Each structure stands twice: as structure tokens, then as C-alpha cells.
């Protein structure tokens, strides 16, 4: 264990921080547009099942690995089994990729927040918002400036450390986020015709289920819960000895799921009420919502509120991704937190440049038939995160001492623990084959 390592100050702080990592653009931006392009209710149903079974179990897997060694990602795996330290390296690499495209979208949210504050978004005719979104994302310089601002905010928070930066920020943010989304939800479901949207969103049409939908729902579970990247290993590593990890895992998974479902209930009733199409893609929340709000009383207020929500949610997640690499570099190379946060932030910015330009001048530039932004997204959510989650499950199920795991989870309590027994069976026998099949499908082998 590294000397003088920081710790979360309270259980609640830890739960808020982990929820803050989980709840982000993944819930409010990615989940609704995936549900929108993958057939609504059917996608939501599969997502719910995978999330509350496999997702929640994997969350606990990561917390246990982190809490066991109180060290950075590479060491956390390496301490259990030397060969598995490569998962740590893979995670640092993937966090770098996700953070780069995540920051591009984070930049968009800041831009849209400004545009909604100045009243521009609310005053232009609805159909021109598509043009605003497209011409902004396709331009070269402007989105990069906002990406840069977004990364600068990340650097600022991460540089302050765990308790004073990450924990404090999330404690204030999570309750606020919940309140804002609740206000918006009430507004949306009371619109005329909202019921059509609610039905489309929540009533599964089983004929729509396909392997593509399952792969997408699966990837979204990883992305949304922040598993498969060591984020939760690293947060778990900052825990003191006596936390109730199963309870924390269940709560975080539940909050994360709830916020996604609520985000859909903000967006789809409104989309249907104004007869717009749900399958807009990544522009969904950026294009559709301003259109909706512009037609509502107090639209200005709701729009500003919504983009504040989006910026804050994005930040509480991106800092957790950044922390994966930062903890590693601090502990391995003894670099000061502030210094490495700045350096790392800049390097991420360099990778964000092509990701952002792929909406504009690099649009025609395709690898494996995808433009760069989509490739980054696909590689991370559907290939790298599941792969690393699979490796974690195998490590815990097959390469670690069961009694040791139980001791970490139950804080040394030797009594029979049914929860532990079931969870362990799921991790050992159920999760590996399921992830393997879906993963092979995602990379096109079956
Ligand atoms: N879960 C966050 C979201 O939903 C994003 C995120 C944070 C993430 N850390 C991660 C995604 C680790 C994948 C892996 O927006």
C-alpha cells in the first residue's frame, strides 16, 4: 500500500463520487440516442436486464479489486496476479481514447450552454437548430476551443485530489443533478401527447430485438456504469477499510439506471409531443431539446437548466476517467498531481483534435468504415470495455483466493453469506461466457 494515500472522507462521499462517475453524458446524451436509434422499448428492456444483473455484479468486481490493494490500476491487478497487470495498461490506453471523444462532446455541452444563456438557441426557428448544431460541430476551430475549456475544468478539479476535488465536487453536484432532471421530467410528461412518447419508450416491441441491439445495450451498460476501465477500481482503492461494498454497488447501479430512464422520460415525451423523430442520433439532445423548449412557456429557463445539467454530469464522469491515468502516473513516476494533471490534459486534447475534426474536414476519413469519432466510441464501448470486464471477472472468479475475496467484501466477517455465494457463482460461471459471446459478435467474428 502506498504511504499517505488519500481516502474518501465518508461513505456518502464515496457513493456520490461513484454515482457521479457513472452518471454522465452516457445517461443523458448516449442512452437516449441509442434507445432512439435501436427501437425504443425493446432496447430499454434488454438494457435494464443486463444492467441490474451483469452490470451491478461487475461493479462489485471492480470495487473489490481496488479496495483489496489500495493502489493504482496496474498494481491493483498485478498484486492479485502478475499477468493481469496488462489490463491496467489497456485501461489507461482506453481511458485516454474515451476521454478524448468525451471531451469533444463535453465541449459541445459548454457551447450549447452559452448559446442557451445568451438566448440564441431559444430565439431561432426550430428547424435552424439543426443547422446551428451541424455547422458548429463541422467547423474546425470553435469546437476545439470548447473542448479545451472542458479539459481545463477537468484539470482544475483533478489537480485538487480525491477528497477536496472529486469528493467535494460530487457531493454538491449529484443532488443538484437529480433535482434538475426531476423538474424537466415533470415538464415533459405533462405535455399534450406525451403519452405516445412514453409508450414508445417503455413498451417493448419484441420484433425489434436483434443482435445489433443486444451489442449496443451491452456496450451501453459498460459505458454508463463506468466499468471495464478501472474507474471503479481506482475509486475503490481510495476507500477506507470498512465500507459495505455490495450495498454501494447496488445503489450506484440503481441510481445510474434511474437517471438514464429519467433522461429518456425527459426527452421522448417531448419529442413525440412535437412530432419529431426519435432516431436523430448523437445530435438528439442537442437538436431536439432546444426545439422542444423553444415552443414552451419558460422555455429559456428549462433550456439553460438542461445544459447546466449536461455540463455538470459530463464533468463528474470525465474526472473519474482522468483519475485512472493520474493515479497511475503519480504512484509510478512520483510526479506531482498538479503537474501530471496538466500534462495529461494536454495530451488528451491532442487526441481530441482529430476526433472533433472528424465531424468536419476529416469527415471522409474512414477506418474500418467508420469515421474517427465513431471508431473511438465503438472501440471503447463495444470492444475494449467488455474485454477488460471479462478479464476482471476471470481474474476474480478463477485466479484469486475465494476466501480472500470474501474477506474484502464482508470486511473480514466469516459467517455464511448467501449474497457472496451467489455473486461469486455469477461472476465465475455466468458472466465470462455471456461477455465472450457478445464480444465476439461485436468484433464481427460470430
Ligand atoms: N459512465 C460515464 C457516463 O455515463 C462515462 C464514464 C466515466 C466512463 N468513466 C468511465 C465510461 C469509464 C466508460 C468507462 O457518461
- Of the candidates 31, 157, 147, the residue with the CA atom closest to the CA atom of residue 100: 147
Q: Give the residue, by CA position, lying nearest to ligand 1 atom 12.
A: 226
Task: Decide: pTM greater than 0.85.
Answer: yes
Task: Please give the pLDDT value at position 2.
Answer: 53
Domain layout of the chain by residue ranges: 11-442
Q: Give the residue, by CA position, lying nearest to ligand 1 atom 6.
A: 226
Residues of the chain with pLDDT under 50: 1
Measure the CA–CA gap between 85 and 309, rounded to whole angstroms.
36
Instruction: Give 225 Cα–ligand 1 centroid separation in angstroms.
Output: 6
Instruction: Give 19 Cα–ligand 1 centroid separation in angstroms.
Output: 10
Instruction: Give 259 Cα–ligand 1 centroid separation in angstroms.
Output: 14
Task: Please give the pLDDT value at position 87.
Answer: 95
| Ligand 1 pocket, residues with Cβ under 6 angstroms | 21-22, 24-27, 98, 223-224, 226, 228-229, 231, 317, 320-321, 385
* Ligand 1 nearest atom to the CA of residue 22, by list position: 1
> Of 17, 29, 66, 98, which is best to mutate to test ligand 1, by the most ligand atoms within 8 angstroms of its C-beta?
98
Q: Give the residue, by CA position, lying nearest to ligand 1 atom 4.
A: 26
Instruction: Give 257 Cα–ligand 1 centroid separation in angstroms.
Output: 13
Measure the CA–CA gap between 340 and 119, rounded to whole angstroms.
38
Task: Please give the pLDDT value at position 1.
Answer: 47
Q: What's the DSSP call for residue 198?
A: H
The C-alpha cell at 382 is: 463495444
- Of the candidates 67, 120, 92, the residue with the CA atom closest to the CA atom of residue 380: 92
Instruction: Give 48 Cα–ligand 1 centroid separation in angstroms.
Output: 17
Residue 381 DSSP SS3:
helix
Chosen CATH of 11-442 out of 1.10.3470, 1.20.1440, 1.10.10, 1.10.4160: 1.10.4160
Partners of residue 370 on adjacent β-strands: 367
∠ Cα 314 165 1 (to 5°): 110
Q: What is the pLDDT of residues 80-111, one digit of tens each?
A: 999 999 999 999 999 999 999 999 999 999 99
Task: Please give the pLDDT value at position 241.
Answer: 67
Task: Please give the pLDDT value at position 17.
Answer: 87
Amino acid at each position: 500500500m502506498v504511504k499517505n494515500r488519500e481516502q474518501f472522507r465518508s461513505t456518502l462521499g464515496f457513493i456520490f463520487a461513484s454515482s457521479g462517475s457513472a452518471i454522465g453524458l452516457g445517461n443523458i446524451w448516449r442512452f437516449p440516442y441509442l434507445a432512439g436509434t435501436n427501437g425504443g422499448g425493446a432496447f430499454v428492456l434488454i438494457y435494464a436486464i443486463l444492467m441490474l444483473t451483469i452490470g451491478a455484479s461487475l461493479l462489485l468486481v471492480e470495487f473489490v479489486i481496488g479496495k483489496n490493494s489500495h493502489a493504482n490500476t496496474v498494481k491493483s491487478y498485478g498484486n492479485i496476479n502478475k499477468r493481469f497487470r496488462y489490463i491496467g495498461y489497456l485501461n489507461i490506453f482506453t481511458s485516454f481514447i474515451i476521454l478524448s471523444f468525451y471531451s469533444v462532446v463535453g465541449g459541445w455541452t459548454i457551447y450549447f450552454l452559452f448559446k442557451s444563456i445568451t438566448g440564441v438557441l431559444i430565439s431561432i426557428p426550430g428547424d435552424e437548430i439543426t443547422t446551428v448544431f451541424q455547422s458548429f460541430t463541422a467547423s474546425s476551430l470553435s469546437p476545439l476551443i470548447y473542448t479545451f475549456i472542458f479539459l481545463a475544468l477537468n484539470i482544475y478539479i483533478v489537480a485538487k485530489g480525491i477528497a477536496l476535488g472529486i469528493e467535494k465536487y460530487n457531493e454538491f453536484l449529484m443532488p443538484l443533478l437529480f433535482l434538475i432532471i426531476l423538474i424537466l421530467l415533470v415538464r415533459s410528461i405533462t405535455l399534450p401527447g406525451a403519452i405516445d412518447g412514453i409508450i414508445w419508450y417503455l413498451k417493448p416491441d419484441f420484433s425489434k430485438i436483434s443482435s445489433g441491439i443486444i451489442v449496443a445495450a451491452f456496450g451501453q451498460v459498460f459505458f454508463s456504469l463506468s466499468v471495464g476501465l478501472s474507474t471503479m477500481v481506482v475509486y475503490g482503492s481510495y476507500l477506507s477499510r470498512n465500507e459495505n461494498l455490495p450495498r454501494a454497488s447496488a445503489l450506484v447501479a440503481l441510481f445510474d439506471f434511474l437517471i438514464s430512464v429519467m433522461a429518456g422520460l425527459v426527452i421522448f415525451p417531448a419529442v413525440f409531443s412535437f412530432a419529431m423523430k426519435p432516431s436523430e442520433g448523437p445530435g438528439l439532445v442537442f437538436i431536439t431539446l432546444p426545439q422542444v423548449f423553444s415552443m414552451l412557456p419558460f422555455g429559456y429557463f428549462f433550456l439553460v437548466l438542461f445544459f447546466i445539467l449536461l455540463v455538470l454530469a459530463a464533468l463528474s464522469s470525465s474526472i473519474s476517467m482522468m483519475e485512472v491515468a493520474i493515479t497511475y502516473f503519480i504512484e509510478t513516476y512520483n510526479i506531482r498531481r498538479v503537474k501530471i494533471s496538466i500534462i495529461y490534459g494536454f495530451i488528451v486534447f491532442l487526441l481530441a483534435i482529430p476526433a472533433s475534426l472528424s465531424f468536419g474536414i476529416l469527415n471522409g476519413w474512414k477506418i474500418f468504415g467508420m469515421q474517427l469519432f465513431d471508431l473511438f466510441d465503438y472501440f471503447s464501448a463495444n470492444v475494449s470495455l467488455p474485454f477488460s470486464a471479462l478479464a476482471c471477472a476471470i481474474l476474480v472468479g478463477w485466479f484469486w483466493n475465494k476466501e480472500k475475496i470474501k474477506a474484502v467484501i464482508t470486511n473480514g466477517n466469516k459467517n455464511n453469506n448467501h449474497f457472496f455465494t451467489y455473486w461469486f457463482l455469477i461472476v465465475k460461471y455466468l458472466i465470462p461466457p455471456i461477455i465472450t459471446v457478445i464480444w465476439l459478435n461485436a468484433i464481427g467474428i460470430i
